[in-house]
Structure 1
């Protein structure tokens, strides 16, 4: 039976996250769902998660490359919250029992030092508000079965955000142009992909300005201390038990994430 209201759709996603059981795409039942519909569902889902005691510590921006926009039918990026319960640090071990079909993406993260409120935020304004940058790896996940997402599905599902791992040091941007930052991604010591900061909308700082202006139209501010993930610099890579990933961002340093050898949920079922 098709879900016909944002609250019911949000509850379905909430249950899928909790039970680690994917659901069919909403757009299968209602292909007319729009990006605005997706954000209405996202807002309801965030309310449910905050009621459980979680908190919003920042935002992620997705589909910041032209290739990804073409893939899911976008002509602009999308966004979702970063939740405190999903934060990991350099060297942490990630258990897969919280995810359904996780993949990893390396991207530049910014930590804000000043408040940003759009509309009207320029790239210069955005850069001035940044306290520093961090090396980041986002774990994207889909509560939609088999990643069969269309625009409204991924927006509703927190822009497919699952978790994030950050380097330990926040690096000031003085003398650093984020567009020129080169990233290499390794798995178990072997380089498997690379990218440059300019892959994110031409300039990761422009991503921040876009987000501030987009949220500002809805009356939402970016606050000091907020983490902003600016978009993948390469194609997403699936995770498997026992993997170790390392993303090196040159002047920003590196971040390493280990994937637990055993899926605890699978072990518990035995």
Structure 2
């Protein structure tokens, strides 16, 4: 094994251990000189295999940094993606155990389930045809890297800062109208952020097309049955035990979360 491959494995192991130890690590860019995106995704895939070895089932992907608000908040300039497993999923109304995370924040999003594989060169029309259901969703982002001191390669290596997802019921919405969906987030009845589907790369379906292409470049397809969250409508907000989050999606319904 080359020295750089060994460093990748060591960083991946440290990040994976942090899920249970809650001991944060230094930014991977400081451990691995000139860490690039390809190397960061190799570190991420090591952790995915480790979860699978423990019996987890990968059920989908999250796409991050798709809104200008989140790119500015984290100081990066392009999207990224991560994975989540069956044990990272919560249903709406289920209390969220805050102690499961290190420095968690929440984001309002939309989630999509697929009824067909998506090829790497999928057109937007093919993306629409592959969508089975649309759901209101919240992503809990978390950082295994100390103090959220991240750049793009760091968050990619840290599974795109994914902590968990919360999936609401399927909603009835025309796919051509997703850019107009609005979300307003309140934490303990105080305004915490708002945005529209158009804030997510212009249309929440465009990140899904981007993911198909990006995974295709890595030799992987988005499989039928997958759940994909396509990015936050606004900046993320931190929460603590005892907090209550409400996300109002207007005519499309709402999601409420409590944190224990």
**Which TM bucket (shorter chain)?**
over 0.9
The answer for the alignment partner of 1:236 in structure 2 is: 236
Deviation at 1:249, TM superposition (A): 1.8
Residue segments in structure 2 that go unaligned for 5+ positions in a row: none
Contact kept? 2:67, 2:234, Cα under 8 Å: no
Alignment size in residue pairs: 257
Which structure 2 residues correspond to residues 40-51 of structure 1 after superposition, within 5 A? 40-51=42-53
Distance 1:53 1:251 in 2: 39
The equivalent residue for 2:137 is 136
Q: How far 1:43 sits from its partner (Å)?
A: 0.6
Change (3 A) 1:152 1:158: same
Alignment of 1:65 onto 2:67 = yes
Using the TM superposition, give the Cα deviation of residue 191 of structure 1 relative to its aligned residue in structure 2, in angstroms. Answer: 3.3
**Alignment deviations for residues 193-236 of structure 1 (CA, whole Å, 9 cap, x no partner):** 21100111111111111111111122211122211111111111
Q: Which residue matches 2:200?
A: 200
Q: Is the 8 A contact 1:135 1:247 kept in 2?
A: no
Q: Does 1:178 find its partner at 2:175?
A: no
Residue pairs, 1:10-49, within 5 angstroms: 10-49=12-51
C-alpha separation in 2, matches of 1:140 and 1:70: 16
Structure 1: runs of 5 or more not aligned: 261-270
**Runs of 4+ deviating beyond 6 Å:** none
Distance 2:72 2:99 in 1: 31
User: Which residue is 1:218 aligned to?
Assistant: 218
| Contact 1:34/1:151 (8 A) holds in 2 | no
Name the SS of the counterpart of 1:195 in structure 2.
strand
Distance 1:191 1:68 in 2: 17
Aligned to 1:184, the other structure's residue is in SS state strand
1:98, CA displacement in angstroms? Answer: 1.2
How many Å separate the matches in 1 of 2:68 and 2:175? Answer: 28
2:79 matched residue in structure 1: 77
For residue 70 of structure 1, report the CA deviation from its aligned partner.
5.0
Are the counterparts in 2 of residues 185 and 192 from structure 1 also a CA contact under 8 Å?
yes
CA shift, 1:54, in A, is: 0.6
CA–CA distance in structure 2, aligned partners of residues 14 and 244 of structure 1: 29
Matched, 1:162 2:150: no
Residues of 2 paired with 1:238 and 1:72: CA distance?
A: 14
TM-score scaled to structure 2, two decimals? 0.93
* TM-score using structure 1 length: 0.89
**Cα distance, 1:9 vs. partner?**
1.1
Give yes or no for contact 2:7–2:32 (8 Å, CA) kept in 1: no
Deviation of 1:89 (Å): 0.8
Secondary structure of 2:90's match? strand
